[in-house]
Amino acid sequence: MINNFLGIFSKDIGIDLGTANTLVYVRGKGIVINEPSVVAVNQKTGQVVAIGNEAKKMVGRTPAYISATRPLVEGVISDFEVTEEMIRYFIQKVHKETFSLFPRPRVVVGIPSEVTEVERRAVEDAAKNAGAREVYLIEEPMAAAIGVRLPVQEAIGSMVVDIGGGTSDIAVISLGGIVVSKNLRIAGDKLNDDIIRFARDEYKLLLGERTAEDIKIAIGSACELEDPLEAVMRGRDLVTGLPKEVVVDDSEIRRAMQHSVKALIASIKSTIEATPPELVADIMHRGIVLVGGGSLLRGLDKLVQQETKMPARTADDSLTAVVRGTGIVLEDIDALKEVLVGSNYYERHEKTPAAE
């Protein structure tokens, strides 16, 4: 009863709880928060020092007793308390302008496909403990498909490849459900690791994670470019221990990432192989849609098209596809109830008449 009363003064929100970034959609307003999923914690006191953008600036620059970490690893919660604090921070930030002292919003959270029941429950509990009145879960590829306006509730096959920071989700969707899916631990972070390993092996240069990501964004590609690109890699020389910089081009970075990119393409192919023929025919006509930060890798859509012999495109504003999908579900949760994970929706709405 109290929760319902407090809910009147709360804003319903959709959350794309990503390994690299967390995005928040507010019902009736749109996307209001896009911050890194990073939390800085004081190890002496156990207190949270900073969250989001402020914490990201601290990565690799903190004293020994402050650790700036990501509470989500490969799309799932690795530190429950810190994740809870992070979700609470985002809920409070959304309600800062209102007069609600104890916001109790309804929350729709995107989760990777193929997560276990325990991992699913962890997300639900973290959101509830952070102040959510009701928590609904939706698989990220489904949310992304809704976000890019694919006809997910119709008897038409749609294929989405969501390449995030920690995981990549490949799914074929029809009639409001995921028909075939594959979740793999090859995504943006793995490509950063590939670049770090390449710098160490080829140039005896130790790179930081942020530097590797900057190089990937600046000159990373999945296939040969018409105009070659160059970037400067700066790090510590492993031989002398002194600072060192090296100029690298796109072909070297492409070589560094080729193993991971090939594994991703192989997973897309194996998902197509497991798809019923009628749906494959639909996908051949409609094409494969790439979303997520990793889909912005230059030429990836072209490579997917070459390897699968199917049309492929990167969605417009692909970084926000999942959170926009959670927002569309929020706006009309009754019409889209079948796309939610598990029986959360039905449990709540079947109990209501009995309670009355």
| 20 carries a ligand binding annotation | yes
Q: What is the pTM of this model?
A: 0.86
**Which CATH code for domain 188-257?**
3.90.640.10
Delimit the domains of the chain by residue range: 2-143+321-355, 148-186+267-318, 188-257
| 7 carries a ligand binding annotation | no
Cβ-based burial of 38 (10 A; exposed 0-12, middle 13-18, buried ≥19): buried
Task: Tell me what pLDDT residue 306 has.
Answer: 94
| 356 carries a ligand binding annotation | no
Task: Tell me what pLDDT residue 353 has.
Answer: 43
Residue 82: count other Cβ atoms within 10 Å of its Cβ: 21
Q: What is the pLDDT along the chain (356 residues), one digit of tens a residue?
A: 444 444 455 789 999 988 888 999 998 888 888 998 899 988 888 888 899 888 888 877 778 888 888 888 877 888 888 888 898 888 888 887 665 556 788 999 998 887 888 888 998 999 899 889 999 999 999 999 999 999 999 999 999 999 998 899 999 999 989 999 999 989 999 999 999 999 999 999 999 888 999 999 999 999 998 899 999 999 999 999 999 999 999 999 999 999 999 999 999 999 999 999 999 999 999 999 999 999 999 999 999 999 999 999 999 889 999 999 999 998 888 888 888 886 454 455 554 444 43
| 275 carries a ligand binding annotation | no
| 294 carries a ligand binding annotation | yes
Which of 3.40.50.300, 3.40.630.30, 3.30.420.40, 3.30.70.100 would CATH assign to domain 2-143+321-355? 3.30.420.40
| 165 carries a ligand binding annotation | yes
| 131 carries a ligand binding annotation | no
| 21 carries a ligand binding annotation | yes
| 147 carries a ligand binding annotation | no
Give one word for 232, left, alpha or beta, with left for phi > 0 and alpha for psi -120 to 50.
Answer: beta
Task: Tell me what pLDDT residue 43 has.
Answer: 85
Q: Cα–chain-centroid distance for residue 213? A: 16
| 167 carries a ligand binding annotation | yes
Architecture of domain 148-186+267-318: 2-Layer Sandwich (3.30)
Give the type of residue at 271. T
Task: Tell me what pLDDT residue 100 has.
Answer: 56
| 293 carries a ligand binding annotation | yes
| 268 carries a ligand binding annotation | no
Give the type of residue at 207. L
| 182 carries a ligand binding annotation | no
| 214 carries a ligand binding annotation | yes
Task: Tell me what pLDDT residue 336 has.
Answer: 84
Fold equal for 2-143+321-355 and 148-186+267-318: yes
Task: Tell me what pLDDT residue 28 has.
Answer: 83
Q: Which residues contact 185 (CB under 8 A, 6 or more apart)?
A: 74, 166, 167
Instruction: Note whether 148 and 161 are within 8 A (CB).
Output: no
